[in-house]
Amino acid sequence: MDIRTVGVIGAGQMGNGIAHVFAQAGYDVLLTDISQQALDDAVALIDKNIERQVSRGKTTAEDKAAAMARIRTTLKLADLGPTDLVIEAATERETVKNAIFEDLQPHLAPHTILTSNTSSISITRLAARTDRPEKFMGFHFMNPVPVMQLVELIRGIATDEQTYKTMLKVVESLGKTAASAEDFPAFIVNRVLIPMINEAVYALYEGVGNVRSIDQSLKLGANHPMGPLELADFIGLDTCLAIMNVLHDGLADTKYRPCPLLTKYVEAGWLGRKTKRGFYDYRGPEPVPTR
């Protein structure tokens, strides 16, 4: 199947990055959100990010203008119905995602492939609530989307081979690399990454080290570009907690029990960079550890 038009649901951090890379790869993109302000902010951010690429010589002003012209926005979810491929990048809550697909379903073209950018929720379960489980896949981009090379492709139990092969070609057309994952809780990247972050929070909780010493240890001792607590703040502590809960509930293994300190930070509303406070306080000129 030839994918030409792409609908992206959600204009947040992931959605705007996905729209960015698809527009640059030559696809016509229709971006939707429940907020006009979110759509306007997303387009402005995409423009700013591509302008940065122009200034670094990674693209031209002409290519930037062409990419921006390929991005349209709408507040009406139904407008995405005729697109060849839909990518849902809304809040990481299953009830929200199910409601979106349910509202979209009556407007879909018969050939439209549905995908979710979920980082942990069962693709099989999401697909089963739609009228086309065979044309449904997990399409998990890493953050920030324009920079990160990997895309996880997750097949649900009903996903057919044609859909999978079509999505492999799409990933290749974006200049990215696909990692194929089976539909088990948190897939590959977050199955390994988030428990590591959770263990770092346990090390903080138990007083093994403070925020700075834990992050320095992994950066300098394991050659990680960011420390685990710094990375947790970047991802969002609410997202980390949600994924740990998916792992704990889905695998029923105590090794995936979320650290109580992670839960406390989320309860306090200290979610990381997006709220200016997490394991670091970002309200000043330099991030300051909060423990």
Annotated catalytic, 140?
yes
pLDDT tens over the chain, length 291 residues: 799 999 999 999 899 999 999 999 999 999 999 999 999 999 999 999 999 999 999 999 999 999 999 999 999 999 999 999 999 999 888 999 999 999 999 999 999 999 999 988 999 999 999 999 999 999 999 999 999 999 999 999 999 999 999 999 999 999 999 999 999 999 999 999 999 999 999 999 999 999 999 999 999 999 999 999 999 999 999 999 999 999 999 999 999 999 999 999 999 999 999 999 999 999 999 999 999
Active-site annotation holds for 20 = no
Choice among 20, 117, 140, 230 that is catalytic: 140
Range of the domain at 222: 191-289
Catalytic choice (116, 190, 198, 230): 190
Specify whether 198 is catalytic: no
**Claim to verify: residue 178 and residue 248 sit in the same structural domain:** no
223 is in an annotated binding site: no
**Where residue 168 sits, what CATH number does that domain have?**
3.40.50.720
* 13 assigned binding-site residue: yes
Q: Is residue 274 part of an annotated ligand binding site? A: yes
Domain boundary among 150, 182, 214: 182
Active site residue 217: no
Residues 87 and 11 in one domain: yes
Question: Are residues 272 and 213 both part of a single domain?
Answer: yes
7 is in an annotated binding site: no
Domain end position, chosen among 135, 165, 182: 182
Instruction: Select which of 119, 120, 122, 198 is catalytic.
Output: 119
Same-domain pairing of 104 and 221: no
**How would you classify residue 252: left for phi > 0, otherwise alpha for psi between -120 and 50, otherwise beta?**
left
Instruction: Give the residue carrying structure tokens 């439209």.
Output: 112
53 in a known ligand binding site = no
**119 annotated as ligand-binding:** yes
DSSP state letters, the chain? ----EEEEE--SHHHHHHHHHHHHTT-EEEEE-S-HHHHHHHHHHHHHHHHHHHHTTSS-HHHHHHHHHTEEEES-GGGGTTSSEEEE---S-HHHHHHHHHHHGGG--TTPEEEE--SSS-HHHHHHTSS-GGGEEEEEE-SSTTT--EEEEEE-TT--HHHHHHHHHHHHHTT-EEEEEESSTTTTHHHHHHHHHHHHHHHHHTTSS-HHHHHHHHHHHS--SS-HHHHHHHH-HHHHHHHHHHHHHHH--GGGPPPHHHHHHHHTT--BGGGTBSSEE-SSSS-EE--
Q: Which of 88, 94, 152, 230 is catalytic?
A: 152
CATH of the domain at 230: 1.10.1040.10
The Cα–Cα gap between 227 and 225 comes to 7
Report pTM: 0.90
